[in-house]
Structure 1
Amino acid sequence: MPDVASQRSRGLVLAAGLQTDFVSPLSSGLGRYTYYEESLNTTEAPAEDNELGLETHDDRSPTDPGPGSKGGQGSIVVPADLNQLGFWLTLLLGTPDTTDNEDGSWTHVFESGADTLPSATLQRALGSGRWKIAKGLMVNSIAFGLAKSEDGYRTFRLDCMAREVYTAGAPIEADPAAMAARAKLPAKRGLTRLNSVVNAQLVSGEFTFANNLQREDYADSADDAGDLASAMEPGDLSFSGNPTYRFKRGAALNGAIDLFTSHTTPFAHEIEYARSDTSSLLIATPRCFAPPAVPAANGPGPVDFSTSITARQVVGETPAPLMTVTLTNAVESYS
């Protein structure tokens, strides 16, 4: 038997495009996107079918299973490429409000809280004439960090759900559109603001925004077999983070701890990643809460303090979304 090389992932292309609705996959119009990891898989599992009265060998062994509901879920780790990221943010938050800056850049403003969210068709080469196909792909949550101790480039983790995930012998589109010009964000870039001021010595921080999608199955004959989801409905939104700050000798340098004195006192929180004036990402949550933070002495080294941040929407005469994401880049549209 001849030796056969193992398939490796480095050259396996991922392509995706926005669907017009959840149940109508694309047949063309995909674009190329880069990624670090992709773990989408089917969630279809057989159901026990304990039918009685069959001619069986014995009365203790199970008989054939029945069909289960089709679906898929998994994660995609993507680079913080500010030109590519708008596509994934559109899936996460909906279509942005876009402004032409008339300097070769566009500013896209995404707001959380949309009643409906887009879905996508995705294909990824598996090698040897096989492709992974995901239809009705939706982004359930995004996770990102702010630690500057990391080298290389920053990444974002997208947890996804899909109407269907399967393998095929042919791609949906053999020649996807070329990817946008690269705008990768170095991991050392990034800062945080509390109440619009850089008043904290941030050591590390991990943050997550979640749509909390819920599968819905309606008796609507959306597919012949009736085993595909009718919709993925957005649930209650959540934004959470676990930042750790360094306590400094100068009292004026410890502005963060002055904010974390009561779990009922709101504050504004911002995370900004910037490459230049025309390539940046700002994640703003204007009304956040955190339990009191008290520094601890964990040995002879520096004194740190941590807290858990959650965000809420702004209510009243001038309501505002729980989270607003402002992306400035060189891409005109993601529709």
Structure 2
Amino acid sequence: MARAKGARAQMALAFETVYGTPPAGGYTKMPFASTTLGAEQPLLNSELLGYGRDPLAPIKDAVTADGDVVVPIDAEAFGFWLKAAFGDPVTTGTGPWTHEFRSGAWTLPSLTIETGMPEVPRYAIYSGCVLDQLSWQMQRSGLLTATARLVAQGETVGTVSSAGTPAPIDLRRFGHFNGSITRNGAALGNVVSAQITYANNLDRIETIRADGRI
């Protein structure tokens, strides 16, 4: 069996038109540091008596698909995660543009995310992803990353990519050294570190359906 290499790992993302339906195209190659996206389907032990000491075949339980994606905070790719957290921004200007993301949207966009390991090969596509929480830490030095916590509807694993050739991102990454904290336009002094967390507090609608998904 081939061994996957992190240098060749890839992630592609596209916004869905219909929840849970992966789009045919329009994927973007996303920078990421790590991911724990995955699906789990527990097995339930039989409670029946009178069949001897050997266990009976287990019964499949519902599917749970979720996980975290650690991403860099940069000038372009991070906008995808902000849109997933807040919805479409209010955009003004003619280039450079100003994007204002506002909290409290009634509906949030859903994503399809594909993680690929070409050496294996293994391509896992997660449809119906909705961003539950976005958090990052501010400090004086170090690498600036954010953690996006996602709730997905399900996982489909294949040996061929379904994302085609994703559009590349021009990575222009921000660092802690460039950051500042202001209040009403004035610098706020003596802040050593800060932890910022935005949560949508999603609830899974655990509908009864044949495939066990939400």
Per the normalisation by structure 1, the TM-score is: 0.59
Q: Secondary structure at the match of 2:80?
A: helix
- The corresponding residue for 2:197 is 208
Provide closer, same or farther for how the CA distance between residues 18 and 160 of structure 1 changes in structure 2, counting only shifts above 3 A: same
Question: Which of residues 121, 130, 137 is equivalent to 1:138?
Answer: 130
The equivalences for 1:290-309 within 5 A come to none
| Partner Cα separation in structure 2 for residue 49 and residue 137 of structure 1 | 32
- The corresponding residue for 2:212 is 227
Q: 1:195 Cα deviation (Å)?
A: 4.8
Q: 1:86 Cα deviation (Å)?
A: 1.0
| Partner Cα separation in structure 2 for residue 117 and residue 25 of structure 1 | 16
Question: Which of residues 98, 118, 125 is equivalent to 2:116?
Answer: 125
Per the normalisation by structure 2, the TM-score is: 0.90
% identical aligned pairs? 26
Amino acid at match of 2:57: D
1:147 aligned to 2:106? no
| Partner Cα separation in structure 2 for residue 62 and residue 117 of structure 1 | 45
Question: Which of residues 163, 180, 190 is equivalent to 2:179?
Answer: 190
Amino acid at match of 1:161: V
- The corresponding residue for 1:314 is none
Gaps of 5+ in 2: none
The equivalences for 1:311-330 within 5 A come to none
The equivalences for 1:28-67 within 5 A come to 28-51=25-48, 56-58=51-53, 61-67=54-60
| Partner Cα separation in structure 1 for residue 45 and residue 98 of structure 2 | 52
Amino acid at match of 1:145: Q
Q: 1:218 Cα deviation (Å)?
A: 3.1
- The corresponding residue for 1:275 is none
Question: Which of residues 98, 102, 123 is equivalent to 1:107?
Answer: 98
Any conservation in 2 of the 1:17–1:29 contact (CA below 8 Å)? yes
Per-residue deviation, residues 188-214 of structure 1 (Å, max 9, x unmatched): 121112454323211111111111111
Q: 1:94 Cα deviation (Å)?
A: 0.9
Gaps of 5+ in 1: 230-335
Q: Moved runs in structure 1, 4+ residues, more than 4 A?
A: none
The equivalences for 1:230-269 within 5 A come to none
Any conservation in 2 of the 1:42–1:166 contact (CA below 8 Å)? no
Provide closer, same or farther for how the CA distance between residues 71 and 26 of structure 1 changes in structure 2, counting only shifts above 3 A: farther
The size of the alignment, in residue pairs, is 213
Any conservation in 2 of the 1:44–1:69 contact (CA below 8 Å)? yes
